[in-house]
Structure 1
Amino acid sequence: MYLEQRVVVNVPEGLHARPASQFVRLARGFEASIQIERQGKRADAKSSVRLMLLGVKERDEITLHADGDDATEALQCLSAFVSDTSPAAAPSALPPAADPSSPALTALGEYSGTPASDGIALGAAFHFFPADISAPALVSGGIDYAAELQRYEAAVQVTVDRLSAKRQRSDSEAEAIVQALIDVAADPAFHEEIAQHLQGGMDAVNATMRAGRDIAERFEVAADPYLRARAEDIRSVARNVALALQGQTEPLLADIPPGSVILADELGAWELSTIDLSHIAGLVFRAGTPLSHAAIIARSHGIPAVIGCNASVEALKAARRVGLDGKTGTVVLDPTDAVAAPLLAHLSRDLAEKAALAAYRLVAPKTKDGRPVLVAANIGGERDIGPALQAGAQGVGLFRTEFLFMEARHLPSEDDQEAVYRRVLQAFAPHHVVVRTLDIGGDKPVAGIEFPKEENPFLGWRGVRMCLDRPDVFKPQIRALLRAATQGSLKVMIPMIADIGELRAVQAIVRDCAAELAAEGKPHGKFDLGIMIETPAAAWMADELAQEAAFFSIGTNDLTQYIMAADRTNPKVASLNRADHPAVLRAIAHICAAAKTAGIPVAICGEAAANLDLTKTFIDLGLDELSMSPAAILRAKKHITEIGL
């Protein structure tokens, strides 16, 4: 069966490396041959490299072509993906413009570059200038094509295995980037170009380096700066496959001393994945762009970085100490004491602030009048456990389980889910973990669940609505949660509740699952069943819902957009989409009053929970818990202790 479908791309920034990688993994889950067409040019939808080279941007109209028995399902899934309006796929924001308050660096040995990650750094230079790969001399004839192709494929597998090991040790930001590199290494476009060079008589090493160079050059001439930045990824992958062919590995940065500034021509996500990033004080590269994966990782970890530095390789190699300003793009090699003084003062202030915040890690915060407020973490999976615990999270206020489903090629089994929930509960014991049941819809495609095309997925078949219609998806999750409940303090909340009948239907499913587990002789426990308050219907029915829910958790992101009728992803209505609007605050006040009357706890787990300007207002309204990203926890704890009557 051949089908085609036109669709407008809503993925922020378009199909760049990470969303291209996700799109390709979805496409490879179908048997149908699939192509994507933009402005008359087509590309294989199962090739990350070809898809990225197509240069699909946000708001582009594309045509999806599918030919095969599962063409209908493929187009539904892939069109839903490219219609996604979630900001999660966008690359990390570029650094802000120069700040006139930033310390001035004026000295001999001063160079300039492009600001890539904000912050000041001063530290010992760590030089990273690996030698060029020594490829065998080209010979005419005598190359065994089959043997060289087998060598190449084995080297690719070695490379993929190394990257996979790095991905498992990465945080959520780096993990997605490393996965994109894995997809590039195993991409059929690479394989086809290598095969052509091998057929032309090249050995595997030379073929790999030639193909990597040729494909990188295609990215470098792209009009899109983000695509141009992907040339570094291509070169990095080709280099590491070539090294694997020779039984070598890239020199490691793992032994970098703490507080070092790395000086390099260019650095990729590959190299950064080998390092304890806390050891890096700063990054200075001669090449690259603010959209390179190294720059993205630097920004996500708060590492100051300057790229495109105009210093020569010789000057960088000779430097022993480096100062840099990631806001202005200034780099000073071997700064004098006079030049280093303002940097040291700036760093001292930063360290003092961080040290002061660290003192709150084990604090259970209370306001000055003695009111305790829990500060918990929002997490998306096991990779977020470490940062949350390090920040002193008092449990988990929101575990977004949809990532377990979205990142898998098939629906996760009951056993798979139980194992993840169990490990998270054990990690945060004795604190509670609030698990949100599957919250997906047409805007978040999941393999194994077919979503209808909807004009507005945010108002459609999502959250509890989908789960109640698909007990084959929902019941394994409830069973897994009941089984994991023996391992800690578990709370479960249901998203998108708009009617008390939905809550009662979920309660019945929980009872049925518990009875099934008991009949099967499987150990299981109990959990408190609460709801997300994120629809206006739930907000204004809070009095009735509070009589049956064990707790409330307010999702301010959706609640705000629904109350204000303002899409939270649309910058044109951003002035309306704010949690401090009187209409939103009145709704929150009503919810808190209903919870207080019923004697149940109420939390906020939306982005507004981390807004320090609203913390006192929320506490005054009756909030018992604030749940936020780990990075915001220490500041929130400190702020709570400073709140008076």
Structure 2
Amino acid sequence: MKVINGIPASGGISIAKIFKIFPKNLELVKVNNCDVDLESERLKDAVLNAKVEILEIVEDVIAKAGEAKAMIFRAHILMLEDPEFIGEVYSLIESENINAEFALDVVSKNLIRIFEGLDSQVFKERAIDVKDVSDRVMKYLTNSIDEGYQFTDDVIIVTNDLTPSESIRMDKKYVRGFILNVGGKTSHAAILARALEIPSVVGTKVAFDEVEDGDLVILDGDEGIVIVNPNEEQIEKYRKLKENKKEDFSEFFNKEAITLDKKKIKIYANIASNEEMNNVLKNGAEGIGLFRTEFIFMGRNTFPSEDEQFSIYKSVLEAMNESTVIIRTLDIGGDKQLPYLKEIPEENPFLGLRAIRLCLNEVGLFKTQLRALLRASAFGNLKIMFPMITVVEEMTEAKKVLEEVKSELIKEGFNLGEIGVGIMIETPSSVMLADKLIKHVDFFSIGTNDLVQYTMAADRMNENVSYLYQPSNPAILMMIKKVIDITHNHNKWTGICGEIASDLEMTPLLIGLGVDELSVISSSVPKLKKRIGNLDSKECQKLSQQALNLSSSNEVIDLLKRF
């Protein structure tokens, strides 16, 4: 028996035998003096077939996990149109008169080597994407039969890393977990594992070398632990833990989230597309707490028009039937780029021209989105939210543009509805200026993912500093408490839309800190309602006071486990 520690990436417990996936080594031969036109045509056909296949995957992922997760694969389509990738393959075929397979292999390996050599987890993820796309095109060039992996019994997959395509193709009927040598909580494999509800541990560094095919393992995706060849006592313990986690949440679809002492918490849903509305309504979300509009702009080659955006926003507002819909303006930059927007080279995009900074720099783009939003406001209960506000001047400038657009539309004869305005609290400066910012808005929404990253000075995509990505650190809790208290003092409200909103262990702490609204992926809505229904808000307040007096994230986690 041995224990391997890693990063908890997708919650849940699995007990099954190991299935190791070894790297594929395709033997390619360089063929010289080829017919350039023929090889270029073969590459063109392979790329076209790959695009068709990816589009089918996109539809599948939207159905299983929502539009936001599907953007991983939409980005693959853009890579197939990238002159620095596929364009370079065409150039190599032409300049050296070589076969398409060999040219693709050379170009993709060069790109992968460049991305892996950069000191950023974002670029390391891009290396995995290049491999995924290259493998798909190569499959059509070499006429390889790709039947995937066929299982007849439950297995836990162990490998160095999984491409997005490998992750999504795994048969949920038999695949009970992923154990990966590399990766972090926000790697593509981890994101898709959570979406598919497959327990996973990543960043183990050694698992692939320390287990054998057929070894029985216990995978604890909540704690990031892998127990290899456990004894009967351990197996029984984890079977009971797993059984206790099985719950039926259907009775909470249409219930409100009310604590035992009658405190009401609003439970909203996060979405990235109007195509997710069926799941939102089915799971009983009371509103939309975060509509990530950047995904409307991604996976395409031109800006969406005002009318395109208006149609999408209108459909969401109508579907929610006067319930609150909070739509965030374009949040591009950092790890999200638009291929058709001129990219300004930046050493650190996360600290650069992103979100509201980019919108105020590209006022025409900003105004088009605001026009579409304001036109849609006549069809429901709209609240507009600005992301990444760090100083008061950004807030006043954004509202000035909003008022200009509003005046233009009224002059043009459009009917506009009443709207609310809010901001994302994502930086330490916005926390410290919250008492000034609240005078300009109707509500705050705390984006804990970025707030933790910027406060702890730790890239959440970097597994080397993932130990510092601590949402439960007392420093973060103090910030949340400060922001909530300020809004309440002004008779306004604060929501949370980061990952901790759906962390059921954190729920009593967030209620104790005074949060008014939690926004989560739609599948988490009924689970969160049930969790809140079993809590007493006064006991939660006592818990939060204890947590605020602690010194470390680990102490807070221990406190929550005892609660």
TM-score of the pair, normalised by structure 1: 0.58
Task: Please show how residues 31-180 of structure 1 align to structure 2 within 5 Å.
Answer: 98=5, 120-123=13-16, 143-170=34-61, 171=65, 172-173=68-69, 175-176=71-72, 179-180=75-76
Task: Please show how residues 486-525 of structure 1 align to structure 2 within 5 Å.
Answer: 487-494=379-386, 496=389, 498=392, 505=400, 508-509=403-404, 511-516=406-411, 518=413
Measure, in 2, the Cα distance between the counterparts of 1:219 and 1:460. Answer: 24
Q: Does the Cα contact within 8 Å between 2:287 and 2:323 map onto a contact in 1?
A: yes
Matched, 1:625 2:517: yes
> In terms of mean alpha carbon deviation, does 194-203 or 607-616 score higher?
194-203
Matched, 1:269 2:269: no
1:585 aligns with 481
For the residue of structure 1 that corresponds to 2:477, the secondary structure is: coil
1:34 aligns with none
Measure, in 2, the Cα distance between the counterparts of 1:208 and 1:220. Answer: 19
Show CA shifts across 1:312-333 (max 9, x none): 7xxx5xx6x964436555556x
In the alignment, residue 98 of structure 1 is paired with which amino acid? Answer: N
Measure, in 1, the Cα distance between the counterparts of 2:360 and 2:32. Answer: 66
Measure, in 1, the Cα distance between the counterparts of 2:95 and 2:141. Answer: 18
Instruction: Give the direction of change, closer, same or farther, for the CA distance of 1:260–1:187 in structure 2 (3 Å limit).
Output: farther
2:293 aligns with 401
Aligned residues: 500
Instruction: Give the direction of change, closer, same or farther, for the CA distance of 1:370–1:119 in structure 2 (3 Å limit).
Output: closer
2:312 aligns with 420
Q: CA deviation at 1:282?
A: 2.2
Task: Please show how residues 412-561 of structure 1 align to structure 2 within 5 Å.
Answer: 412-426=304-318, 428-429=320-321, 431-438=323-330, 448=341, 463=356, 472-485=364-377, 487-494=379-386, 496=389, 498=392, 505=400, 508-509=403-404, 511-516=406-411, 518=413, 526-532=417-423, 534=425, 535=430, 539-541=434-436, 545=440, 551-555=442-446, 557=448
Measure, in 2, the Cα distance between the counterparts of 1:210 and 1:412. Answer: 35
2:139 aligns with 243
- Relative contact order: is structure 1 or structure 2 higher (C-alpha 8 Å, sep ≥ 6)? 2
Show CA shifts across 1:556-613 (max 9, x none): 659979xxx95765889989983432x7635532321322xxxx66544466756424
For the residue of structure 2 that corresponds to 1:434, the secondary structure is: strand
Gaps of 5+ in 1: 1-95, 100-113, 333-337
Measure, in 2, the Cα distance between the counterparts of 1:284 and 1:461. Answer: 34
Instruction: Give the direction of change, closer, same or farther, for the CA distance of 1:640–1:438 in structure 2 (3 Å limit).
Output: same
Matched, 1:308 2:208: yes
Measure, in 2, the Cα distance between the counterparts of 1:509 and 1:133. Answer: 59
Q: Does the Cα contact within 8 Å between 1:120 and 1:324 map onto a contact in 2?
A: yes
Q: Does the Cα contact within 8 Å between 2:112 and 2:131 map onto a contact in 1?
A: no
2:177 aligns with 282
Q: Does the Cα contact within 8 Å between 2:252 and 2:530 map onto a contact in 1?
A: yes
Instruction: Give the direction of change, closer, same or farther, for the CA distance of 1:559–1:552 in structure 2 (3 Å limit).
Output: farther
Q: Does the Cα contact within 8 Å between 1:425 and 1:433 map onto a contact in 2?
A: yes
> In terms of mean alpha carbon deviation, does 481-490 or 221-230 score higher?
221-230
Measure, in 2, the Cα distance between the counterparts of 1:264 and 1:542. Answer: 48
Show CA shifts across 1:414-441 (max 9, x none): 1222233234335544632111334568
Measure, in 1, the Cα distance between the counterparts of 2:176 and 2:525. Answer: 23
Measure, in 1, the Cα distance between the counterparts of 2:189 and 2:258. Answer: 40
For the residue of structure 2 that corresponds to 1:393, the secondary structure is: coil
Q: Does the Cα contact within 8 Å between 1:397 and 1:626 map onto a contact in 2?
A: yes
2:542 aligns with none
> In terms of mean alpha carbon deviation, does 227-236 or 396-405 score higher?
227-236
In terms of fraction of residues, the more helix-rich structure is 2
For the residue of structure 2 that corresponds to 1:591, the secondary structure is: helix
Q: CA deviation at 1:157?
A: 2.5
Matched, 1:612 2:507: yes
In the alignment, residue 272 of structure 1 is paired with which amino acid? Answer: S
Measure, in 2, the Cα distance between the counterparts of 1:511 and 1:231. Answer: 44
Instruction: Give the direction of change, closer, same or farther, for the CA distance of 1:466–1:185 in structure 2 (3 Å limit).
Output: closer
Show CA shifts across 1:294-349 (max 9, x none): 4664467543368525677xxx5xx6x964436555556xxxxx967744652453
Instruction: Give the direction of change, closer, same or farther, for the CA distance of 1:346–1:185 in structure 2 (3 Å limit).
Output: farther
Show CA shifts across 1:522-543 (max 9, x none): xx55142232374469743578
In the alignment, residue 366 of structure 1 is paired with which amino acid? Answer: I
Q: Does the Cα contact within 8 Å between 2:449 and 2:499 map onto a contact in 1?
A: no
Q: Does the Cα contact within 8 Å between 2:371 and 2:406 map onto a contact in 1?
A: no
Instruction: Give the direction of change, closer, same or farther, for the CA distance of 1:513–1:258 in structure 2 (3 Å limit).
Output: farther
Measure, in 2, the Cα distance between the counterparts of 1:631 and 1:224. Answer: 35
Q: CA deviation at 1:367?
A: 1.9
Q: Does the Cα contact within 8 Å between 1:122 and 1:322 map onto a contact in 2?
A: yes
Q: CA deviation at 1:483?
A: 3.5
Instruction: Give the direction of change, closer, same or farther, for the CA distance of 1:413–1:126 in structure 2 (3 Å limit).
Output: same
Measure, in 2, the Cα distance between the counterparts of 1:573 and 1:173. Answer: 22
In the alignment, residue 50 of structure 2 is paired with which amino acid? Answer: T
1:67 aligns with none
For the residue of structure 2 that corresponds to 1:250, the secondary structure is: coil
Instruction: Give the direction of change, closer, same or farther, for the CA distance of 1:494–1:138 in structure 2 (3 Å limit).
Output: closer
Measure, in 2, the Cα distance between the counterparts of 1:615 and 1:341. Answer: 36
In the alignment, residue 303 of structure 1 is paired with which amino acid? Answer: P
Measure, in 2, the Cα distance between the counterparts of 1:452 and 1:274. Answer: 36
Measure, in 2, the Cα distance between the counterparts of 1:303 and 1:606. Answer: 20
Measure, in 1, the Cα distance between the counterparts of 2:190 and 2:527. Answer: 25
Measure, in 1, the Cα distance between the counterparts of 2:54 and 2:447. Answer: 37
For the residue of structure 1 that corresponds to 2:475, the secondary structure is: coil
Aligned sequence identity (%): 23
Instruction: Tell me the C-alpha RMSD between the 2 structures.
Output: 5.6
Q: Does the Cα contact within 8 Å between 2:176 and 2:198 map onto a contact in 1?
A: no
Q: CA deviation at 1:293?
A: 5.6
Measure, in 1, the Cα distance between the counterparts of 2:116 and 2:398. Answer: 55
Instruction: Give the direction of change, closer, same or farther, for the CA distance of 1:186–1:588 in structure 2 (3 Å limit).
Output: closer
For the residue of structure 1 that corresponds to 2:257, the secondary structure is: coil
Q: Does the Cα contact within 8 Å between 1:533 and 1:559 map onto a contact in 2?
A: no
Q: Does the Cα contact within 8 Å between 1:138 and 1:202 map onto a contact in 2?
A: yes
Show CA shifts across 1:67-125 (max 9, x none): xxxxxxxxxxxxxxxxxxxxxxxxxxxxx9639xxxxxxxxxxxxxx999776423588
Q: Does the Cα contact within 8 Å between 2:360 and 2:366 map onto a contact in 1?
A: yes
Instruction: Give the direction of change, closer, same or farther, for the CA distance of 1:322–1:505 in structure 2 (3 Å limit).
Output: same
In the alignment, residue 308 of structure 1 is paired with which amino acid? Answer: F
In the alignment, residue 144 of structure 1 is paired with which amino acid? Answer: D
In the alignment, residue 475 of structure 2 is paired with which amino acid? Answer: R
Q: CA deviation at 1:133?
A: 7.4
Q: Does the Cα contact within 8 Å between 2:71 and 2:299 map onto a contact in 1?
A: no
Measure, in 1, the Cα distance between the counterparts of 2:94 and 2:360. Answer: 55
